[in-house]
Amino acid sequence: MEHAQVLSALGFSNDELTGGSLAVHSPIDGAEVARIAETPLSDMATVIAQSKQAFKAWRTVPAPRRGELVRLLGEELRAAKDELGALVTLEAGKITSEGLGEVQEMIDICDFAVGLSRQLYGLTIASERPGHKMSESWHPLGPCGVITAFNFPVAVWSWNAALALVCGNPVIWKPSEKTPLTALACKKIFEKAVSRLGNDAPEGLMQVVIGRADVGEALVTSRDVPILSATGSTRMGSVVGPKVAARWGRPILELGGNNAMIVAPSADLEMAVRAIVFSAVGTAGQRCTSLRRLIVHKSVKEELVAKLVKAYGSLPIGDPRQDGTLIGPLVDRGALDAMQGAIAKARSEGGTVHGGGPVTEGVPGGAYAAPALIEMPGQTETVKTETFAPILYVMEYEDLDQAIELQNGVPQGLSSCIFTLNMREAETFLSATGSDCGIANVNIGPSGAEIGGAFGGEKETGGGRESGSDAWKGYMRRQTSTVNYSAELPLAQGVKFDI
Ligand code: UN1
């Protein structure tokens, strides 16, 4: 499909796509596809005030009814899956199947959140005092700012929005300036769900603000935005986190990863190769969960590297819309330059480089590159740095302790995995002395997590959790209540204070 067709299928009018100050380019061919209006900084106070107002109404709507809105959103996403998937491909450069997969991830989190809307459970807790009841309940917290990155332009919003909405919070979404069209398309889809719900959804329940860092900054620094979820680089998080904390807000940070796979001597190598290739070169290495480091036992390293070099040699690179393409473009020229810079640095640190060069033939323009496999003499500074591109550094190990030390020996802590058929090794990797990451897998690559689990990581990844499990608790305030239904007033801890 041509760019214009994709945009019109989602209901964009010419007015929306022209005359603004933010130029949007497609990574597929580098073409400018729109010039859209930016949210003036001076509007942010009104946006936030409207969200605050919406909160007052939305928090009183029963949670299962809030879930109904999210159920309708899931229905609308199902209906728009092909069109929205195509827009993800257009704006982020993902291959068709991954664009559709991202929309499926949105549908999945909506289903999860609908069920959750009847399960925002608290606890009853045994009181030490006679005739007393202790309990814990969860209440809506307030406007939730969501700052998302270009690489998952819609799914990460939905992880946050679906939960925030059932939890009783309005959402203000600031998408990456590289992918604002997908956000505006989601807003249109959301509005359809709102109009089907009827009167319960207040004005301003989900707002999208378009702009650059200063627009995001307005959310980050506002005391009226108690929850601020931000996905992006560690550098961005190191600015956002302290600012949110300084005004007593709650940050949910999902930052850089530097994800590793340990390949043990007993590993099923054929399976490992498939997992490595998908997680290292899928999405052109631009997932926060992409595989970046391979830690291979020295007894299998030669064989595995040979298999990988062969597999890498035949990967179809090109137009992500075309059937059969597995590697689409990098997001822009800057990403290609960063990739080439990292490869040059790795080489200067003693790395042996396979592939990794820019690809200019058989591609429709844009910034395309062959994936790089780099055999490294050790875990150098370059290996410890996340480069958002398909570069896989290979290192060898002799015993599992050393492999785990290498795996944990980077500043980031998002995702990790081990390929082994040895149960002792697998369980050690998952134990308290194993991987230090938020995600640790066995015989599966580090990327492509399901929405049912909590998603996020430790150390410079920021510590936030989104998506499944009990991540919803990050979007609510906890209230502990003690009720005295006796005629006495005993004090806790046996304290006496008679007057
Ligand atoms: C991201 O790259 O920010 O686990 C999110 C995965 C996807 C989400 C990635 N489900 O790879």
Which DSSP string corresponds to 140-187? E---EEEE--SSSTTHHHHHHHHHHHHTT--EEEE--TT-HHHHHHHH
Average pLDDT rounded to a whole number, residues 180-194: 98
Q: Do 171 and 58 touch, CB atoms closer than 8 A?
A: no
Q: Side chain identity at 35, as an amino acid letter?
A: R
Per-residue pLDDT tens over the stretch 87-128: 999 999 999 999 999 999 999 999 999 999 999 999 999 999
348/390 Cα distance (integer angstroms): 19
Other CB atoms within 10 Å distance of the CB of residue 65 = 14
Mutate to test the pocket of ligand 1, among 292, 412, 455 (most ligand atoms within 8 A of CB): 455
H/E run at residue 297: strand 291-297
pLDDT single digits (tens) 134-183: 999 999 999 999 999 999 999 999 999 999 999 999 999 999 999 999 99
To test the pocket of ligand 1, the residue of 94, 152, 157, 253 to mutate (highest count of ligand atoms within 8 Å of its CB) is 152
SS3 content of the chain, % helix, strand, coil (to 5): 40, 20, 35
Q: Answer whether 372's CB lies under 8 Å from 305's CB.
A: no
- What tokens appear for 464 in the block? 């936030």
Instruction: Single out the residue of 231, 228, 224 nearest to residue 242, CA to CA.
Output: 228
Residue 29 pLDDT exceeds 90:
yes
Catalytic residues: 254, 288
Q: How big is the CA angle at 416 (ends 472 and 462), to the nearest 5 degrees?
A: 45
Label residue 389 by pLDDT band (50, 70, 90).
Answer: very high
pLDDT-based confidence at 1, cuts 50/70/90?
confident
HEC string of 303-319 equals HHHHHHHHHHHCCCECC
Q: Which residue reads 């309708």 in tokens?
A: 72
User: Strands 171-174 and 144-147: what pairing?
Assistant: parallel
Quote the tokens at residue 396: 């060898």
Place of tokens 């933010």: 22
CA 165 to CA 182: how far, in whole Å?
Answer: 20
Tell whether ligand 1 has an atom less than 6 A from the beta carbon of residue 447: yes
For ligand 1, atom 7, name the residue with the nearest CA: 448
Only one residue has tokens 């005295």, namely: 484
Task: Determine the distance separating the centroid of ligand 1 and the alpha carbon of 103, expressed in angstroms.
Answer: 12
State the distance from the centre of ligand 1 to the C-alpha of 231, rounded, in angstroms: 11
Decide: residue 281, CB within 10 A, 0-12 exposed, 13-18 middle, 19+ buried: buried
Gap from CA of 110 to ligand 1 centroid (Å): 16
Residue 445 pLDDT class (50, 70, 90 cuts) = very high
449 lines ligand 1 (CB under 6 A): yes
